[in-house]
């Protein structure tokens, strides 16, 4: 008996865990079990669950004006305010913001914008988008095409959906450079990169990686798109990962953390290197990529309230304080026989489980310890709790992983 919920790889109806309530760093199941949300949902629950003031902000906006679209000469105030706020948090001056409804939307928007950019620059041969093995960029057509996780690309016919896709080695800069040169760097429109690989297993970049990427971008004249759907708005203790790594991208995609998941919202922060041509001159070109819900007023009001909470409660500084705690705890797991490797940065951690350890069994055992965790595709535990988590709760998550591994082994 399958659930009518149309998520094709869904579990059998009777075995679904239905979550009925959220409260700070905790979620509650339909059976009444209270679980520490060590995954932050799908990396989104940054300010934690059940915030009354976010519900109030949404309700107030819904009562006043649910939304008004931002096509043509129209706008609504929350969308304008949120765009202006995001521009002040961007790692470059004079940022412009294009709103979408989520991360996959934002990736497609940025990649189309990259190609449009080069068409307008009179370099129509610049079509290729470079991405990395094991990367994840959402599941719309363009994002699926550039995704490095092949199982998301498989089954739609041969090759990639968009042929002008070039995959480079995960973090091997020398190999990446060879592939780019062999392909013809001058044909490249953009390189898209997660600053820290998320779904691919929480993999931070090696030192100096982005410096070399920036040199290659200069040499061949391609754009850099930082896919910060997971990292933007504080996951690494800075507003953007681009800021932390001095990545200097031309575009940043964001979603999840902009509303902490309270309502769906995404977008692209665009630097003047790309946006300028769309603003200068009386007959400036138009990007034909308008979405009905871009800048939805109620969603924007929630985004504003979410950013206000992050600032008021000093959550970025809190993430920076927690970073060494998570590092210390995970390093302590490294020698466990059930663990192959650990990685960590900011409030993100990945634990590669040994081949004979079933991640799903570990996750089930963790629930018995009152901790919800996610098992990523390559048998890797994802740790990305809400920013409001305490030091003790963070230590408890890793202690519970150890206990669960001891049981499962």
Residue 406 φ/ψ, nearest 5 degrees = -60, -40
Nearer CB in complex with ligand PLP: 185/385: 385
Nearer CB in complex with ligand PLP: 137/344: 137
Least Å distance, CB 131 to ligand PLP, is 11
Least Å distance, CB 125 to ligand PLP, is 27
As a whole number of angstroms, the distance between CA 109 and CA 113 comes to 6
As a whole number of angstroms, the distance between CA 248 and CA 258 comes to 20
As a whole number of angstroms, the distance between CA 379 and CA 350 comes to 10
DSSP letter, residue 24:
B
As a whole number of angstroms, the distance between CA 148 and CA 179 comes to 15
As a whole number of angstroms, the distance between CA 257 and CA 269 comes to 14
As a whole number of angstroms, the distance between CA 392 and CA 385 comes to 13
As a whole number of angstroms, the distance between CA 407 and CA 177 comes to 45
Nearer CB in complex with ligand PLP: 225/405: 225
Nearer CB in complex with ligand PLP: 22/143: 143
- Radius of gyration of the chain measured on its C-alpha atoms: 21
Least Å distance, CB 27 to ligand PLP, is 18
Q: 334 Cβ partners below 8 Å, 6+ apart? A: 341, 342
Nearer CB in complex with ligand PLP: 46/400: 46
Nearer CB in complex with ligand PLP: 177/194: 194
Among 224, 225, 230, CA closest to 255? 230
Helices (H), 259-358: 272-279, 297-312, 315-333
Least Å distance, CB 179 to ligand PLP, is 21
The sign of the torsion formed by the CA atoms of 185, 190, 193, 199 equals negative
Nearer CB in complex with ligand PLP: 104/238: 104
Least Å distance, CB 197 to ligand PLP, is 8
User: Of all residues in this chain, which one has the CB nearest to ligand PLP in the complex?
Assistant: 103
Least Å distance, CB 274 to ligand PLP, is 19
Nearer CB in complex with ligand PLP: 102/272: 102
CB atoms within 10 A of CB 197: 26
Least Å distance, CB 279 to ligand PLP, is 27
Least Å distance, CB 257 to ligand PLP, is 11
As a whole number of angstroms, the distance between CA 260 and CA 386 comes to 9
- Chain residues binding ligand PLP by CB under 6 A are 42, 102-104, 107, 136-138, 194, 198-199, 227, 229-230, 255
CB neighbour class for 25 (10 Å; exposed up to 12, middle 13-18, buried from 19) = buried
Nearer CB in complex with ligand PLP: 268/319: 268
Residue 322 φ/ψ, nearest 5 degrees = -80, -20
Least Å distance, CB 217 to ligand PLP, is 19
């Amino acid at each position: 008996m399958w659930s009518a919920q149309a998520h094709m790889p869904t579990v059998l109806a009777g075995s679904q865990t239905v979550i009925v309530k959220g409260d700070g760093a905790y979620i509650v199941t339909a059976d009444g079990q209270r679980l520490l949300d060590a995954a932050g949902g799908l990396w989104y629950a940054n300010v934690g669950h059940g915030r009354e003031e976010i519900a109030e902000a949404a309700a107030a906006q819904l009562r006043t004006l649910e939304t008004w679209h931002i096509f043509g000469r129209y706008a609504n105030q929350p969308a304008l305010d949120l765009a202006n706020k995001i521009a002040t948090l961007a790692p470059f001056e004079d940022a412009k913001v294009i709103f979408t409804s989520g991360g996959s939307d934002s990736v497609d928007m940025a990649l189309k914008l990259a190609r449009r950019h080069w068409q307008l620059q009179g370099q129509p041969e610049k079509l290729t988008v470079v991405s990395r093995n094991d990367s994840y960029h959402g599941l719309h057509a363009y994002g699926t095409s550039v995704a490095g996780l092949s199982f998301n690309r498989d089954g739609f016919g041969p090759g990639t959906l968009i042929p002008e896709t070039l995959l480079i080695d995960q973090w091997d800069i020398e190999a990446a450079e060879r592939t780019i040169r062999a392909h013809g760097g001058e044909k490249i429109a953009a390189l898209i990169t997660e600053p820290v690989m998320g779904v691919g297993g929480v993999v931070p970049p090696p030192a100096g990686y982005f410096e070399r990427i920036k040199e290659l971008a200069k040499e061949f004249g391609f754009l850099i798109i930082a896919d910060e759907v997971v990292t933007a708005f504080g996951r690494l203790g800075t507003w953007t990962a681009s800021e932390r790594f001095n990545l200097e991208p031309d575009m940043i995609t964001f979603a999840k953390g902009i509303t902490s998941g309270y309502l769906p919202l995404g977008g692209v922060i665009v630097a003047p290197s790309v946006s300028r041509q769309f603003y200068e001159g009386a007959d400036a070109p138009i990007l034909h990529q308008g979405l009905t819900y871009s800048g939805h007023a109620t969603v924007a009001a929630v985004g504003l309230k979410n950013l206000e909470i992050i600032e008021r409660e000093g959550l970025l500084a809190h993430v920076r304080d927690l970073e060494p705690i998570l590092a210390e705890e995970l390093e302590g797991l490294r020698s466990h026989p059930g663990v192959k490797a650990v990685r960590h940065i900011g409030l993100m951690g990945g634990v590669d489980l040994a081949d004979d350890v079933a991640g799903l069994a570990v996750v089930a055992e963790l629930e018995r310890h009152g901790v919800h965790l996610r098992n990523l595709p390559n048998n890797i535990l994802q740790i990305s709790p809400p920013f409001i988590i305490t030091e003790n709760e963070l230590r408890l998550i890793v202690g519970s992983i150890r206990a669960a591994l001891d049981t499962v082994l």
